[in-house]
Amino acid sequence: MILTNLETVPGRRIVEHYGLVSGSTVRAKHVGRDIAASFKNLVGGELKGYTELLSESRNEATRRMGEQAIALGANAVVNIRFSTSSVAQGASELYVYGTAVRVE
């Protein structure tokens, strides 16, 4: 699976176009992590628990998008965009979308 946020895969030619594919996850914060993070929040600095949580979730969303693209018969996803929105208190949605294509 080739993933890129360019409009084409560099050095390859797109032969077929399958339209938009997307993947998303909504993740809530783990209670243990939330407590640890709220203590860290007192003094500021990096909240490593959240950094890990969000990048894991984003990988999950990307994986779902990849599965969708494979199901369509694509071998690459181009023009990928990430988007984050907080839907509820303590939960955020991580959304990834792109265009499924087949390259040579």
Helix (H, G, I), strand (E, B) or coil at 92: strand
Question: Pick from 78, 100, 98, 97: which is nearest to 11 by CA?
Answer: 78
Closest distance to another protein from the beta carbon of 32 (Å) = 13
Instruction: Note whether 104 binds another protein by CB under 8 A.
Output: no
Which of positions 67-86 make contact with another protein (CB under 8 A)?
80-86
Alpha-carbon gap, residue 54 to 100, rounded angstroms: 24
DSSP 101: E
Nearer to another protein, 18 or 27 (CB): 27
- CB 24, CB 95: distance < 8 Å: yes
Instruction: Note whether 9 binds another protein by CB under 8 A.
Output: yes
**Interface with another protein by CB under 8 A: which residues?**
2-7, 9-11, 29, 34, 37-38, 40-48, 50-51, 54-55, 58, 80-86, 89-90, 92
